[in-house]
Amino acid sequence: MTAKTAKTAPTATTAPTATGRPTGHARVQIFEVSTLYGAATLAAAIDAGQFGAPEDARRILLVSNNAAIPETSLRLDAMTGYDRIATRFHDVIDWNEAIHPHHPATWAPRPEEAPLWQRVFRTAWALGTAPVELVVESIQVNPARALAAVFAESTVDVYADGLMSYGPTREELPQSIACRVGRLLHLDLVPGLRPLLLSEYGVEPELVPDDAFRAVLTEIAEAAEGDRQVTAAVDAEPTALLLGQYLASLGILTADEEEELHIRMLRGAAAAGHTSVIFKPHPTAPARYSTALNEAADQAGVRLTVLDGPLLAETFYERCRPTLVVGCFSTAMVTASVYYGVPVARVGTDAVLARLTPYENSNRVPLTVVDHIVPDLETGTGPAVPGAGPQTLTPLVRAVGFCMQAKLHPLLREETVRFLEEYQGDVDMARYFDVERLGRLGLPGGQAAPRAGGSRLRRTLTRSGRS
């Protein structure tokens, strides 16, 4: 059992070395983070005073790389703008190093070992006997669950990294953790829509102020001054930005299907009159996506600039000022409209909705939100700045949330029944629900799942009919 020592952040505050000496602060705040977007959210909350005055606590940024193979993925500290975020903390600690050789997504202490691990970390990170407050993302999974188990007496705040806060908690939390969660901090990405995450435990959502978050995004963009890729993008005078995701990596689409999705984005932008386009691939996307897109751009007569550097999409909004952002259901689409007033459009959400499994997949609510409020680029309706969305959005999200996690949200059943009865037969609404799941839950519009024998018989008859 080993734990690595802390790395000092680039800050004017001198952090204590990992010797076990008292920290000099009455308490310690540990902020667990795995993405720059999440770190920016925390920085905005800190700047807005949502974690108290800087001198009141020693602040530790605990960086976790949750990629399947962390050694081959982009490190958070390599992202442009990271250094500016890190100045808000007294220390930066690498969680992967602290628990090496274990993986952050799978490691958690055995219950009988948790007190020993706390002593190890308190010594390695010079926490002394100060009370620890945890600020984590995705409390239902590791590393947040592991931290909550190690620091079993600590209070817990959760912050939401994107649209998933509007969906239900992925699974039931142990009471020993649920009773300690105080707040859910989230961005107002869809004005008027209230998060379902952790609501079953009475956790109150708390907005991170828009102006504070936008200021942090501007700060990150300033760090890209002189970046060669950004300079090249600005010189290309792009009017549209295409957002790649990692749907193939998640097993939602095949690599070929995701490649075709990006090509459809480009063709849609070209059809809308855009002749200079930026493509921002996801860091895990294969290089051949760029090759296929270049060929499609040549055919469409579009100038394509591929930006695969360690930059947030929001940095391009600041520096390039596009007039269109296209994606499938990326949070960066909503950020473009809410914080920059850029019109957005979606491509391929209907296909992903049909393929997303299991029904309780955490991507379902972000996908539903984007599909419901963002115009489809390929239907000719034109991009838009969605704002608060239609009146149907809140009841739709709550109904989908109930169907995803009915046991966690029994109080939503009655309003879900009313919603399904009102929109029964509506083809547009029907695609958000699975009829067999509705049947299992005894909800309007549901049908019983076919028996396995009947399915085999139908397949046999179908093959016979084709022969």
- Number of neighbours of residue 403 by Cβ within 10 angstroms: 25
**What pLDDT does residue 21 have?**
40
**Mean of the pLDDT values across residues 342-360?**
95
Query: What one-letter code names the amino acid at 204?
Result: E
What rounded mean pLDDT belongs to the chain?
A: 89
Angle separating helix axes 364-373 and 393-404, nearest 10 degrees? 160
Tell me the pLDDT band of 72, cut-offs 50, 70 and 90. confident
- CA-wise closest residue to 334 among 250, 210, 426: 210
**Token pair listed for 230:** 């950004």
**Mean of the pLDDT values across residues 384-391?**
88
**Mean of the pLDDT values across residues 369-393?**
91
Tell me the pLDDT band of 388, cut-offs 50, 70 and 90. confident
Give the span between the Cα atoms of 163 and 189, in whole angstroms: 7
Q: Give percent of the chain above pLDDT 70.
A: 89
Look at residue 296 and tell me whether its pLDDT is greater than 60: yes
Look at residue 460 and tell me whether its pLDDT is greater than 80: no
Look at residue 385 and tell me whether its pLDDT is greater than 70: yes
**Mean of the pLDDT values across residues 252-280?**
94
3-state secondary structure of 452: helix
- On whether the CB atoms of residues 151 and 119 are closer than 8 A, the answer is no
**What pLDDT does residue 465 have?**
42
**What pLDDT does residue 233 have?**
87
DSSP assignment, residue 224? T
Look at residue 1 and tell me whether its pLDDT is greater than 80: no
**What pLDDT does residue 5 have?**
44
pTM as predicted: 0.89
Beta-carbon contacts of residue 199 (< 8 Å; ≥ 6 apart): 205, 409
Look at residue 261 and tell me whether its pLDDT is greater than 50: yes
